[in-house]
Amino acid sequence: MDKKEIITRCIEDKKDLFIDISNKIWGYAELGFLEFKSSEAICSVLEKEGFEVKKGLAGIETAFVGSFGSGYPVIAVLGEYDALSGLSQKGASHIKKEERKGGNGHGCGHNLLGAGSLAAAVAVKEYINEKEIKGTIRYYGCPGEENGAGKTFMTREGCFKDVDIALCWHPGDVTCVWGIGTLANLSSYFRFTGTAAHAAAAPHLGRSALDSVELMNVGVNYLREHIIPEARIHYAITDPGGSAPNVVQNQAEVYYYIRAPKVYQAQEIYERICNVAKGAALMTGTEYEAVFSQGLSDYIPNKTVGEVLYKNLIEAGAPDFDKNERELAGRFRETLKQPDIKNAMNQVRLLEGSTAAEKMETKVLYDFIGSFGHQKGTIPGSTDIGDVSYVVPTAQIIVTCSSFGTALHTWQFTAQASSIIGHRGMLTAGKAMGMAAVDILLNPEIVVAAKKELKEKTHGEYICPIPDNVMPETAKAGS
Applying CB under 5 A, the residues found at the interface with Zn ion are 108
Smallest distance, Zn ion to C-beta of residue 82, A: 9
> In angstroms, what is the minimal distance from the CB of 438 to Zn ion?
26
CB of residue 110 vs Zn ion: minimum separation in angstroms? 6
Asked if residues 477 and 189 have their Cβ atoms less than 8 Å apart, the reply is no
74-79 vs 135-141, strand pairing mode: parallel
Q: Between residues 172 and 465, which has the closer beta carbon with respect to Zn ion? A: 172
Query: Is 108 or 441 the residue whose CB approaches Zn ion more closely?
Result: 108
**Residue of minimal CB distance from Zn ion?**
108
Q: Which is nearer to Zn ion, 385 or 438 (CB)?
A: 385
Q: How far apart are the first and last CA of the chain?
A: 42
Looking at the Cβ atoms of 145 and 164, the one nearer to Zn ion is 145
Q: Smallest distance from the beta carbon of 397 to Zn ion, in angstroms?
A: 14
Q: Rounded to the nearest whole angstrom, what is the least distance from the CB of residue 173 to Zn ion in the complex?
A: 13
Nearest distance from C-beta of residue 365 to Zn ion, angstroms: 20
Toward Zn ion, which CB reaches closer, 136 or 403?
403
The bridge status of strand 251-260 relative to strand 184-193 is antiparallel
For residue 108, the minimal CB distance to Zn ion (Å) is: 3
Q: How far apart are CA 49 and CA 47, in angstroms?
A: 5
Helix 420-442 vs helix 15-28: crossing angle, to nearest 10? 120
For Zn ion, the closer CB: 108 or 300: 108
In one-letter notation, the amino acid at residue 290 is A
CB of 119 to Zn ion, least distance (A): 18
Burial 255-289 (b: 16+ CB within 10 A, else e): bbbbbbbbbebbbbbbeebeebbeebbeebebebe
| Contact predicate 233/257, CB 8 Å | yes
* CA–CA separation, 136 and 63 (whole Å): 19
Residue 76 near residue 140 (C-beta atoms within 8 A):
yes
Q: Which is nearer to Zn ion, 114 or 241 (CB)?
A: 114
Query: In whole angstroms, how large is the CA radius of gyration of the chain?
Result: 23
Q: Which is nearer to Zn ion, 108 or 231 (CB)?
A: 108
